């Protein structure tokens, strides 16, 4: 009799567990880890500076389309070489690879020559199929004019070129400024990845360069540019350099209806905010679900190990998917050693972040 009672109790417990599991998502409102490979996704911000096909191949295996971004970084090949690499990969993987061009900065101090050359280069890039244009943080943080003044993105000399981009119905991806922590001493940087980056790249650690524009001045210059070009489709790279504050991001999304954020290599900062207030971050994404595009900043250079690139891409994409679609307890050592729970966003929101918003922000993809 006792054995029968125990068996009955076990059966009841099993039924309860089964019902709870079966009813936890009765309408299929959420994705799972198992859905990862089957869902069409877009990574809108990677950098491929080699003709090796490791990253497109890994993207194909994981149902990703990718946009490789040309940028005038001194550690990258010349921008024409970057463009040729992008075109080669686009020809090889026409359903998988797209690219963004960038603005050549040679002869900046000769306005007429620069305007003509830059416009011609962009026109050539658009004919080759470039989806849009990237501007980098060297504008506002590095380039100076003949008078020794820093060139800011709201400088009137940029206006005709930005008007041209706008008239061509192309988006501008703007990496303007850096995270707020860039202006802090290393010991005050709470996110490990950010601290390691500025420790290894002191030339961009603005705390060490008091003569450079402040964080506030750079953000203001970006806003001044947007105020002059209200019809410009603008994608704020790296969460618009505002990932330290949900309030600041919200303020800008409310003010600039054409602004979208990419999250390239800033999901770590979102996870840090999640450690502090998960519900605030989750509600933020649900409220502004039409204003984000998924992106990673994955890179493949000529000296990279292709197998390591594949492994990093696969791990990054899967860990990010876990963060957005589950409420699992997670640890990302690029943030710190503390845990956080995933956001478990509804399917509709995940679809927008991973695909729908990118198709709107980058027409032609």
Q: What is the pLDDT of residue 205?
A: 98
Burial class (CB in 10 A: 0-12, 13-18, 19+), 57: middle
Q: What is the pLDDT of residue 246?
A: 98
Mind listing the pLDDT tens digit for each residue in 218-256?
A: 999 999 999 999 999 999 999 999 999 999 999 999 999
In degrees and rounded to multiples of 5, residue 297 shows phi and psi of 75, 20
Strand partners, 234: 172, 259
Pairing, β 329-331 against β 339-341: antiparallel
Pairing type for strands 259-262 and 41-49 reads unpaired
Length of the chain: 365
Residue with tokens 């490990």: 192
Helices (H), the chain: 2-23, 54-61, 79-92, 111-128, 138-141, 159-167, 192-200, 215-228, 237-240, 246-255, 267-276, 278-287, 306-325, 347-351, 357-361
Q: What pLDDT sits at residue 190? A: 96
CA distance 339 to 131: 38
CA distance 294 to 45: 8
Say what the pLDDT of residue 154 is: 98
Segment 63-79 mean pLDDT? 97
CA distances to 46, 74, 300, 315 from 309, in Å: 12, 21, 6, 10
Residue 204's pLDDT is 95
Print the SS3 string covering 52-103: CCHHHHHHHHCCEEEEEECCCCCCCCCHHHHHHHHHHHHHHCCCCEEEEEEC
**Token pair of 358 as six digits:** 């990118």
Q: What's the CA gap between 100 and 108, in Å, rounded?
A: 21
Mean local confidence (pLDDT), 84-102: 98
Two structure tokens written together for 212 = 């450079």
Q: What is the DSSP string of 175-189?
A: --S--GGGGS-GGG-
pLDDT of residue 145: 87
Distance of CA 85 to the CA centre of its chain: 21
Q: For the chain, give the mean pLDDT.
A: 93
Instruction: Report the pLDDT value the prediction gives residue 135, as an integer from 0 to 100.
Output: 98
* Cα angle 219, 196, 70; round to 5: 55
- Residue burial 221-246, b: 16+ Cβ < 10 Å; e: rest: bbbebbeebeebbbbbbbbbbbbbeb
Least confident of 96-100, 146-150, 205-209: 146-150
Q: Is pLDDT larger for residue 23 or for residue 333?
A: 333
The string of pLDDT tens digits covering residues 1-37 is 444 444 444 444 443 443 334 345 656 999 999 999 9
**Cα(240)–Cα(259) distance, integer angstroms:** 9
The pLDDT tens digits for 296-317 are 999 999 999 999 999 999 999 9
Is residue 282 pLDDT above 90, yes or no?
Answer: yes
Q: In what order do the strands lie in the sheet with 259-262?
A: 292-293, 259-262, 234-236, 172-174, 133-135, 97-102, 64-69, 41-49, 299-301
- What domains sit in the chain, N to C, each tagged with a CATH number? 40-361 (3.20.20.140)
Average pLDDT over residues 119-148: 95
What mean pLDDT do residues 116-123 have? 97
- DSSP single-letter state for residue 152: P
In the chain, the percentage of residues whose pLDDT exceeds 70 is 93
> Which residues are paired to 172 by β-bridges?
133, 234
CA 3 to chain centre: 59
């Amino acid at each position: 009799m006792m054995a029968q009672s125990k068996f009955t109790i076990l059966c009841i417990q099993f039924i309860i567990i089964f019902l709870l599991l079966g009813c936890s998502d009765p309408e299929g409102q959420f994705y799972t880890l198992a859905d990862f490979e089957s869902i069409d996704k877009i990574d809108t911000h990677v950098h491929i500076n080699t003709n090796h096909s490791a990253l497109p191949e890994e993207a194909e295996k994981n149902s990703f389309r990718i946009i490789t971004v040309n940028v005038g970084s001194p550690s990258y090949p010349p921008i024409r070489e970057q463009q040729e690499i992008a075109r080669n990969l686009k020809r090889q993987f026409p359903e998988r690879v797209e690219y963004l061009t960038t603005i050549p900065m040679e002869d900046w101090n000769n306005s007429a020559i620069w305007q003509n050359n830059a416009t011609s280069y962009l026109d050539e890039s658009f004919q080759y199929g470039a989806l849009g244009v990237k501007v980098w943080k060297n504008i506002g943080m590095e380039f100076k004019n003949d008078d020794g003044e820093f060139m800011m993105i709201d400088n009137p000399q940029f206006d005709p070129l930005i008007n041209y981009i706008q008239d061509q119905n192309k988006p501008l991806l703007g990496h303007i400024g850096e995270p707020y922590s860039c202006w802090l001493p290393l010991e005050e940087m709470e996110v490990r990845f950010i601290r390691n980056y500025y420790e290894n790249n002191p030339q961009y650690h603005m705390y060490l360069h008091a003569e450079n524009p402040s964080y506030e001045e750079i953000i203001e210059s970006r806003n001044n540019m947007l105020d002059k070009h209200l019809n410009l489709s603008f994608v704020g790279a790296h969460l618009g350099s505002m990932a330290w504050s949900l309030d600041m991001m919200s303020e800008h999304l409310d003010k600039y209806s054409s602004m979208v954020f990419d999250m390239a290599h800033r999901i770590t900062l979102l996870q840090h905010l999640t450690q502090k207030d998960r519900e605030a971050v989750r509600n933020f994404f649900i409220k502004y679900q039409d204003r984000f595009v998924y992106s990673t900043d994955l890179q493949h250079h000529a000296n990279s190990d292709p197998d390591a690139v594949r492994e990093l891409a696969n791990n990054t994409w899967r860990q990010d998917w876990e963060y957005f679609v589950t409420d699992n307890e997670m640890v990302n050592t690029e943030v710190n050693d503390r845990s956080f729970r995933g956001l478990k966003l509804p399917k509709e929101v995940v679809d927008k972040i991973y695909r729908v918003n990118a198709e709107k922000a980058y027409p032609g993809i």
